[in-house]
Amino acid sequence: MHTPADSMLAYLRAKDGNRPHLMAQAFTRDATLSVRLHTDGIVFPPFTQGREAIGDLLARRFGQVNENVYTFCLTAPPLSRPAAVDCDWLVAMSNKDDGDVRVGCGRYDWRFAADSGLAERLRIDIDVMSVLPPSALDGVMAWVRALPYPWCPAATALAGAPEWAALAAARAYLEGDSGRERMRSEMRSGN
């Protein structure tokens, strides 16, 4: 039986691997996606309706611009068939055109259909999206390649994260509630 964990994994494989056909294993036909941006390091439309449109945005078009994509849910996979899963996430990737490296963090809020386990709604909050130069690629990829994919405790991700100034916001996010509040406070004050 298809579970919410299966849907989440299908979504991550579709997005990270540029495999839009896997979106059928993640979302209902009329699913909705909403994106709230709290950073200017990336651009997404605020609302997308329908599995095909979601697949076009998050697999096809995303894959045209980005490569070396690793996305982690900073939680254990849900073991039952919950109606909702809310979890933090971490992503690392590089831009195909200029080679810039992006490391981001945020929150997924999933809502699932009881009968199929497929996602009916996904809200993505993008809280951090740090842009690093192409020279950071080897260090960032060495870090994320060593993490358990796609379910990774935040403490595990934090333990191996490079201690670069450019990753301070991502490191703060991975530290948990106190780190996220400190990061948001610094962003509000312009530091």
Sorting pLDDT into bands at 50, 70 and 90, what band is 190? low
* Residue of higher predicted confidence among 184 and 92: 92
Q: What pLDDT is stored for residue 42 in this prediction?
A: 87
**For the whole model, what pTM was predicted?**
0.91
Query: Which distant-in-sequence residues (6+ apart) come within 8 Å of 152 by Cβ?
Result: 72, 73, 74, 90
pLDDT at 184 over 70: no
| pLDDT band, residue 182 (cuts 50/70/90) | low
For the chain, give the number of residues: 191
Q: What are the φ and ψ backbone dihedral angles of 161, each rounded to 5 degrees?
A: -70, 135
Sheet holding 119-132, edge to edge: 47-49, 27-37, 119-132, 101-112, 84-95, 66-73
Residue 17 amino acid letter: G
- In whole numbers, what is the pLDDT of the chain averaged over residues? 93
* Across 156-175, average pLDDT: 96
pLDDT at 68: 98
Span 56-61, average pLDDT: 96
pLDDT band at 180 (very low <50, low <70, confident <90, very high): low
Please spell the DSSP secondary structure of 72-98, one letter per residue: EESSPPP-S--SEEEEEEEEEEEETTT
- The answer to whether 72 touches 158, Cβ cutoff 8 Å, is no
d(CA 55, CA 15): 8
Task: Work out the average pLDDT over 43-60.
Answer: 96
**What pLDDT sits at residue 47?**
98
